[in-house]
Copies of this chain bind each other. A is one copy, B any other.
Amino acid sequence: MKKKDNNSDDFQVCPIDYGFKRIGGKYKARILWYLKKDTVLRYGELSRALPDITTKMLTQTLKELENDKLVHREMFYQVPPRVDYSLTCTGEELIPFIDHVREWSLREMEKEKDLLAVGSR
């Protein structure tokens, strides 16, 4: 198997890979989704929206999303500090597709539940 030699970037990047790298990762899609629902969320609100995330991962993921221009970050220099997060236009373009997965998943989870119910009686 040919390994990509990194001193030449003339190899083709698959767009599917590219996309999944930008929204993959354990929490990225969920964060984007919560942001679309409420438009603007503070750090603490996001933290409460995703109860299973650690501060490390939340900070890190938000930073990645910001560098990727998918979320916008606004700091207010106050005491106590305040930081707002919201979607960029590019980030919003991803919402319909996250919605699609979500709907699909809900249907699939229903199917699983039904199957389980039938099996146990």
Chain A interface (Cβ within 8 Å of chain B)?
A: 1-2, 4, 13-20, 22-24, 26, 29-30, 33, 51-54, 90, 93-94, 96-98, 100-102, 104-106, 108-109
Contact pick for A13, options B4, B90, B102, B109, CB 8 Å: B109
**Bound CA span A93–B100, Å:** 10
Complex contacts, A51 vs chain B, CB 8 Å: 1-2
CB-CB under 8 A for A29 and B16, given A4-B52, A94-B104, A97-B104:
yes
Q: A-side binding surface: helix, strand, loop or mixed?
A: helix
CB-CB under 8 A for A20 and B29, given A2-B51, A4-B52, A104-B97:
yes
